Amino acid sequence: MARPIDMSAEAAARDNFVGQAEACRSLGSPFTASFCELMAARLDRDSAFGRRVLDWPGNPRADALALRAAGAFNALARSGRAPALQALYPPARADAELLWSGLVAALREHDAFLTAYLDSAPQTNEVKRCAVLLGGALIIARETGMALDLLEIGASAGLNLGFDGYGYELGGASWGASTAPVTVRSEWRGSALPPLDASLTIATRRACDLNPLDPANPADRSRVMSYIWPDQADRLTATGAAFDAAAAMPWRVERADAADWVEAQLSQNAPSGRARVLMHTIMWQYLPGTIQGRIAAAIARAGAEATIERPFAWLRMEADMQKASAAVTLTLWPDGQEREIARADFHGRWVEWR
C-alpha cells in the first residue's frame, strides 16, 4: 500500500524554494533564483529526488533544503558527467524553459547522485566575510595594542582563518600585499572606517567545526564550490584561491562540538600581552539553544576573568531581526562593552561601518 502524500510537507518544501529564490535574487544570483522558482512550481514525484524533496521530513528552511537541491545540480554540472546540463549553466544564459528541460533530463540520468547529494547540509566558506573579520581585528588590535590569538567556531574548511594574509579592495581603500594569493573585494561604507593603519599581528589561530573540511582534499573542495551560486564569478574565484592558500597552511580545522571546544579553549590561561578573540560568521542560528547557552556562559566566564594585560574579545557577524543584512558585533573585555560596529551584506559584498 502506497504511503499517503503529506501535502503539508510538500507545501513547506515549495515555500522554501520560493523564499530562497527571493533571497538569491536580492543577493545577486538570478540564475539560482530561477532554479528555485522552477523547483517550486514544477518539481514532481516522478523521481526519487522529487519524492525526497517534496516529502522532506524536517523543517525545509532550517535544513536549507533549497540550497541542498541547488548544490546537487550545480555539483553535477561542475563534475563534467552531464555535459548537456553543464552547457546550460553560467556563463551560458538559458531561459526558464530550456533550463527546466535540462534539469528534467539530468534527473532521468542521474537521479541517484542528485538524491544522495541531499544528505548533507550546505557548507560554505564565504571568503568575502573576511572583510568583516579584518575590520573587527583592526579595531581590536588598535584598542588593545596587542597581537591576537584567534579562535573560530563553525570554520568549515578554515578559509577565513587566514584573513590577514589576503589582499583587500575596499571601495576607495585597500589593505594587504598586492601579491596576496587571495583578493577580497568588498565595499566599505560609513563615516568611521576601521583603522587600516593599525598594526595587526596574529600570534596563534585555531578553529573547530562539527564537520570540518580539508582544503587540500579535492572532494571537500568540490562540495564547497558546489554551494557557491554559479553566476557569481567573483565568489568562485576568491573561494578557489582561498582553498589553494589554505591548503598550503600548517593549520587545519579541528572536529569538535562548538560548546565543548569553546569551553576547553577558554578554560586555558590566556597569555599576558595578547588579546584572545573568539569569532564566528553566520553560524549561530544553526546551533541548538543548549549549545548557544553553554558557549555564552563560557564567554561570560572568560570575560569576567579578562584583564588589561589579558583582554578577551567576542567578534561575530550574525543574522538578527533586520532581513537585508547581518549585525557585526564586538564585545571587548575587561570593560565588556558590547557594540554593533557594522552592518554587512550576508556574503560580505559590502560593510556599513558604524
CB neighbours of 193 closer than 8 A, spacing ≥ 6?
135, 173, 353
Give tens-digit pLDDT for 295-323.
Answer: 999 999 999 999 999 999 999 999 998 98
Provide the pLDDT confidence category of residue 7 given band limits of 50, 70 and 90.
Answer: confident
pLDDT digits (tens, 9 = 90+) for 223-258: 999 999 999 999 999 999 999 999 999 999 999 999
Q: Could you tell me if 330 and 312 are in contact, meaning their C-beta atoms sit under 8 angstroms apart?
A: no
Give residue 1's pLDDT: 44
Residue extents of the structural domains in the chain: 7-117, 127-353
| Overall average pLDDT of the 199-225 stretch | 96
- Residue 121: per-residue pLDDT: 87
Indicate the average pLDDT of the chain. 96
Question: Does residue 286 surpass a pLDDT of 70?
Answer: yes
Question: Is residue 5 scored above 80 in pLDDT?
Answer: no
User: Are 198 and 148 a contacting pair, CB within 8 Å?
Assistant: no
Cell numbers describing residue 249: 597552511
Residue 149: which residues within 8 A CB-CB, separation 6 or more?
Answer: 203, 204, 205, 270, 271, 274, 275, 276, 277
**Residue 64 Cα to chain centre, angstroms:** 13
Q: Is the pTM of this model over 0.85?
A: yes
Average pLDDT, integer, range 26-37: 96
Give tens-digit pLDDT for 94-131. 999 999 999 999 999 999 999 999 999 898 889 999 99
**Helix or strand or coil: residue 205?**
strand
Distances (CA, A) of 77 to 86, 101, 231, 338: 4, 14, 13, 45
Cα separation, 33 vs 229, in Å, equals 10
Using DSSP, state whether 207 is helix, strand or coil.
strand
Identify the pLDDT of residue 123.
Answer: 85
Strands 312-319 and 274-281: parallel
Q: What percent of the chain has pLDDT over 70?
A: 98
Would you say residue 24 has pLDDT above 90?
Answer: yes
CA 81 to chain centre: 27
pLDDT confidence bin for 4, thresholds 50/70/90:
low
What are the tens digits of pLDDT across the range 51-79?
A: 999 999 999 998 999 999 999 999 999 99
Query: CA neighbours within 13 Å on the CB side: how many for 238?
Result: 28
pLDDT-derived band at 324 (thresholds 50, 70, 90) equals confident
- According to DSSP, the residues that pair with 148 across neighbouring strands are 202, 275
Beta strand 202-209 with 254-255 is parallel
pLDDT for position 3? 56
Element (H, E) at 115: helix 96-117
Examine residue 181 and say whether the peptide bond preceding it is cis (omega within 30 degrees of 0): no
Work out the number of other CB atoms within 10 angstroms of the CB of residue 245: 18
**Furthest C-alpha separation in the chain:** 71
C-alpha closest to that of 38 among 107, 87, 92: 107
Specify which residues 168 forms β-bridges with: 175, 184
